[in-house]
Amino acid sequence: MNSISISDALATSQSTEASEPKRTLNLLAYVHLRNIHNSTGAGRVARQLTEHLASRNDVRLRVLVDAADKERVLPLVKEPWTTFEYTTFSNDTSKQQARWFWLNSPKAESYWPEADIIFCTGESFVPTKKAKLVVTVHDAAYFETQAHRRDQAFWKQKLKWTMLYRKLAKNADMFHTVSHFSASRLAHFFPTIADRIRVVHNAVAPHFFEAVPKAGFDYLESIRLANCSFVLVPGGLHFRKNADLILAACPELIRRFPDLVIAVVNHSNSEYVEQAKALQPNLRLLGFVEDSSLHALYAAASVVWFPSRYEGFGLPVIEAMACGAPVVASNASSLPEIAGDAAMLVDPSHWESHVRTIHDLLTDDAARLELSRAGRIRASLFTWESSACQIKRHFDSLL
């Protein structure tokens, strides 16, 4: 697993643009448009990469989307998405993807004959004739033993991903993934694609580096967390996000800090929602929140807690760092690579260790301040401008 050193990352960021060829690229980006509004995770990655590639003067971008999604989503996301050039298909996204997968038709060139690169911004397949196909693949979670509970839904998804990856292995010219950890695991499960995998890390959306907007402060007031000590859990309660450990640790945290609020952001699995009711009012499930609210929560949290079992990258870690929050995360999967030495990394199987680490931070102002400073420096290494620059270089290398 490769951890990024601050000096190496800064050198890469500063030198990439200067060494990049200035070839103008015709880029057809296939975007699941429904995922970029109120986006999290993979949707946020697709949105930011598309926006930052579009802003470059050496990229001519068109976006390939579901026509119905375009009509519904563009009024919600507004600029710059309302200014892009679009090519649409009339089928529902799922039906269109099935047609591409089974019939290898229509070819991408039928949407834009001049396209040089077809870029699937999430795990999907668009057949091509002469254009090069690049696909973003975030992780190998459905092929691992520890990432998902082995229920009926898991086996259905695993079959779907197995078929898709085998199809891509025969057709994709490049696989973009988001960490060296993900690259190694994808190569392990699909060795024939190893020499086509390129790592370009995710990054922090620019607004997380800025001051908290008024809407964010208003949100904290509305949920009674302004001027309140709280631990923020940004991944929701799910098996993969280690909800079992969180729910095991919370009673002890509440015993030690009776007034502490543990605020969980994002959607949660129904079985964990039921278990969480026993810990109310200290444990509060906030559901999905807008970016301005999330920004405020990160910035105001005493600790951000992300004990995930498995991550291909771990966006909440660097988003929290950008906002100055001290972070406690797992020492598993991609998280050591991304967090470096700017977070407290703890075994994801020992809830007692998480309690002890959070307790130590909540009772040590100096330690929290030190982590906050280190986190801001770490987060500054992950910018979407740099990521777009790096992936553009990889695109150019295919032509």
pLDDT in tens, 258-289: 999 999 999 999 999 999 999 999 999 999 99
CA dist., res. 22 & res. 202, Å (int) = 23
- Residue 158 to residue 122: CA distance in whole angstroms: 16
pLDDT at residue number 227 = 87
Spell out the domains of the chain, with CATH numbers in brackets. 6-203+383-397 (3.40.50.2000), 206-379 (3.40.50.2000)
Q: What's the rounded mean pLDDT across residues 101-122?
A: 97
Indicate the helix (H) or strand (E) that contains 387.
helix 384-397
Q: Rounded CA gap, 118 and 120, in Å?
A: 7
Given a contact cutoff of 8 angstroms between Cβ atoms, the answer to whether 47 and 202 are in contact is no
pTM over 0.85: yes
Whether residue 11 is predicted with pLDDT greater than 90 in this model: the reply is no
pLDDT in tens, 184-204: 999 999 999 999 999 999 999
pLDDT digits (tens, 9 = 90+) for 139-181: 999 999 889 999 998 999 999 999 999 999 999 999 999 999 9
Tokens, residue 17 = 């643009």
Six-digit token string for 143: 């092929």
Backbone dihedral angles phi then psi of residue 29, each to the nearest 5 degrees: -100, 120
The one-character DSSP state at 231 is E
| Percent of the chain scoring above 70 in pLDDT | 94
For every residue of 49-112, DSSP letters joined together read HHHHHHTSTTEEEEEEEEHHHHHHHHHHH-TTGGGSEEEEESS-HHHHHHHHHHH--S-GGGT-
pLDDT by residue (tens digit) across 295-324?
999 999 999 999 999 999 999 999 999 999
Q: E-assigned strands of the chain?
A: 25-30, 59-66, 85-89, 117-120, 132-136, 174-177, 197-199, 230-233, 261-265, 283-287, 303-306, 327-330, 344-346
CA 336 → CA 179, 293, 313, 340, distances in Å?
11, 27, 10, 5
In what order do the strands lie in the sheet containing 230-233?
283-287, 261-265, 230-233, 303-306, 327-330, 344-346
φ/ψ of residue 107, rounded to 5: -70, 155
Under the banding of pLDDT at 50, 70 and 90, the label for residue 1 is very low
How confident is the model at residue 22, as a pLDDT?
Answer: 66
β-pair partners for 120:
30, 135
For the chain, the straight-line distance linking the first and the last C-alpha, in angstroms and rounded, comes to 30
**Does residue 15 have a pLDDT over 70?**
no
Q: What is the pLDDT of residue 146?
A: 87
